[in-house]
Amino acid sequence: MKTVVNYLKKNKKYIHNVMGRYFELELKGDNVILRVKDDEWEIDACPPHHEVEYEIQEILEEHKIEIRFCEVCGMPFDAGFTTEDGGWYCCENCFEGAMDKDYGKGKWRGTDEEGEYGGFYEYFCCDEWEDTGIYWTHWY
């Protein structure tokens, strides 16, 4: 599982607009720098990375910005894929590859009707299509 720290090691900086509210993330040494408006926070990137993500989310929510982090690439995003229980998050760029990896190429599909577990994607198993519980949403 990749985290925002992995993402920033590769991309160095991330700037995003959520409903007219901008924020910026940058990796400088062992710190993630978060900028919102004129405010700036330094977050230690060395603890477990999910704690870094939690701290970023907490600060952004104080500024009415809600995001999640892709579990495949670590990119922050405000619209993408999740499960009914919120136990999995994936950005649009990584979704197809993640589904192919998890369920097999050609063994999953989108559906127009909500499944038993709240999903709009299903996979083929034991001669029938099963609900994944995965759906697309936005958090703004």
Residues 84, 101, single domain; the answer is yes
Residues 9, 68, single domain; the answer is yes
Confidence band for 94, pLDDT divided at 50, 70 and 90? very high
Residues 10, 69, single domain; the answer is yes
Residues 124, 96, single domain; the answer is yes
Structurally, the chain folds into a number of domains equal to: 2
Residues 20, 59, single domain; the answer is yes
Residues 11, 72, single domain; the answer is yes
pLDDT digits (tens, 9 = 90+) for 57-85: 999 999 999 999 999 999 999 999 999 88
From the list 85, 50, 48, the residue with the least C-alpha distance to 69 is 50
Confidence band for 87, pLDDT divided at 50, 70 and 90? confident
Residues 83, 129, single domain; the answer is yes
Residues 10, 72, single domain; the answer is yes
CA distance 43 to 35: 11
Residues 54, 92, single domain; the answer is no
pLDDT digits (tens, 9 = 90+) for 27-36: 999 999 999 9
Average pLDDT over all residues of the chain: 92
Q: Is the pLDDT of residue 101 over 90?
A: yes
Q: Is the pLDDT of residue 114 over 90?
A: no
Specify whether the CB–CB gap between 108 and 99 falls below 8 A. yes
Provide the residue range defining the domain that includes 134. Answer: 79-138
pLDDT digits (tens, 9 = 90+) for 36-61: 988 999 999 887 778 899 999 999 99
Residues 72, 33, single domain; the answer is yes
Residues 73, 21, single domain; the answer is yes
Residues 64, 120, single domain; the answer is no
